[in-house]
A and B are shown apart, each in its own frame.
Chain A
């Protein structure tokens, strides 16, 4: 009898199941563990207290990204507590023999940007990190998800995780995206329809012709935001796009062709069953702008700020009313009439070279509106060098953007890059929660092209009508 057809998730799960002892949660093996400065110090301290070691330091990679300044790297870090956290990461990596891409290292960057970029991330792997956007790595056909600090300690000590098998959720996208509509718009649109908890308990696999046509970095943008729909992981089956992206990267297997042959067996078998399926059409998506304080509160740029009283669900109504009050918006205002104060192009969602190219194309020959302060923060040292080699930094700085060093920066505002109370920001990041970019700050999530256009126009504007120079 032929084996029953399996999904990509089934295959990775089966391959990594270490044991499933009676009365316990299963243990799954973890291939790659990524570590950053904010969620790891307590885990290393726990190991020291218990006299435990890191089981596989060579499968563990670290970089500081969340808490670091993005200004001149030669200057000392002004905030002593930030500095202590970064020094602690250094000391822990030294003590436990973990490879660190440190501040000032040419390959330092946001952990979810450097993983794929260095070839640390590979198809079929299990990858964890003490960060909820670890789902990004699923774009290469890996099972990747965020974990808490206690679990970080567990993985360091055992190279495994206690995990019950999640349910599978196929999100199929048919058709094609219109010109000017990006992967960011697509994923915001999907979250808007699934709600912030529609994916809870599931791993999403994105399938369909529209997804297949996306480039590798666009796929990362889509998978990155799976957690905003509640799904711990998002994944896309590996294909030629994946293999072409990985070939020649620093840490991929030496016998690359043999690896490709193995990876090519990963995609879901025809007829494989998912616990849930939703189908969308790429052609329905227009450029998106969030209007509220969670990523599912999103609407097309050609629409108006919605009216909470018209919402069917009571809890949606009260959330929306609260959100509009926090955001300082009136229902019925056209989205394109909302003026902005700040623009942030960056974060693990949209700080890769393709994102910067898309934004630069919009900005070229224009300048930032006089009342707007705009910044570009590349996702990694490599992205920054590549952009500079292409002259993109000049395009941005000539237009009046600030050009920064790599890091998370104003995505979460742990470092000095923050919004002032009441400031309104067009941001390419992934969370528009209250206070996320600074207490009282108002965040609107958009694509890099839409953020760039808003910087120039001083308000949101439909990128489909942009005059490119």
Chain B
């Protein structure tokens, strides 16, 4: 996994609650057997019109949000299916951070597995970010935030600065880009001990 480094990026506000994984990546794109290439299908049903052209009304299609790497969303983001294709699609499109008041559990987990950082802020702070984004955009400028995982802080250049909480183990895994399976396999003796205490014969895998 790529280590997560601090960065400053353009924010794409998506002002909808309960955005589910069926919207993030519709099922017709789950037939691929690779992990890559899902970005082109992100939010497919919202992003494209029936004739295949981009829907100019859709939030992510606004010219001012091109190249966005931070998605600003509403509560219960990523609810629904466990498909990891959802974070694959977000990350392939270029997102590295999603900010929302709450996330669905499985989606939240899946982000960390893919070098993406989900940030939970209070509803009030999220409202504030939506306001700031809209103010910047109406002045013709993309809204940018700096994300600092070392200090666990999100800042803009106009005085917004909030810290966020993140599980310390997951933070380390992100910062160092650690291989989760490799880490767990360091405890293989404990796994084997559990198995023998529970009457499970020694490793049978080929």
- Which residues of A come within 8 Å of B, CB atoms? 18-19, 21, 23-25, 27, 29, 38-39, 41-42, 45, 50, 52-58, 66-67, 79, 81-82, 84-85, 88, 96-97, 130-132, 146-151, 153-154, 157-160, 162, 164, 196-197, 200-201, 227, 230, 232, 294, 315, 318-319, 322, 412-414, 431, 433-436, 439
Contact = CB atoms under 8 A, between A and B. Distances in A.
A412 B179 CA distance: 32
Contact of B191 (A79, A160, A294): A160
List the 9 shortest-distance A-B pairs measured between CB atoms, nearest first. A150-B113, A41-B33, A148-B84, A148-B110, A146-B82, A149-B84, A81-B31, A53-B205, A197-B76
B131 interface: no
A159 B193 CA distance: 13
Given A42-B33, A52-B181, A201 B105 contact: yes
Contacts of B17: 315, 318-319
Contacts of A29: 191, 194-195, 198
Contacts of A230: 76, 79, 104-105
Contacts of A96: 205-206
B157 interface: no
B23 interface: yes
A57 B76 contact: no
Given A18-B190, A318-B17, A412-B27, A23 B169 contact: yes
A66 B28 CA distance: 11
Given A24-B169, A434-B23, A38 B30 contact: yes
Contact of A25 (B30, B87, B169): B169
Contacts of B106: 132, 146-148, 232
Given A41-B33, A148-B84, A431 B204 contact: no
Contacts of B179: 50
Interface in B97-116: 102-106, 109-110, 113-114
Given A18-B191, A39-B82, A151 B113 contact: yes
Interface in B131-190: 167-170, 172, 179-181, 183-185, 187-188, 190
B47 interface: no
A25 to B, nearest CB: 5
B184 A162 contact: yes
Contact of B180 (A130, A147, A150, A322): A150
Nearest to B112: A150
A227 B170 CA distance: 23
A81 B29 CA distance: 10
A57 B206 CA distance: 8
A25 B18 contact: no
A57 B180 contact: no
A39 B105 contact: no
B181 A157 contact: yes
Contacts of B65: none
Given A55-B205, A147-B109, 10 more contacts: A21-B187, A58-B204, A66-B30, A132-B82, A148-B109, A150-B113, A150-B180, A158-B181, A315-B17, A412-B22
Contacts of A154: 180-181, 184
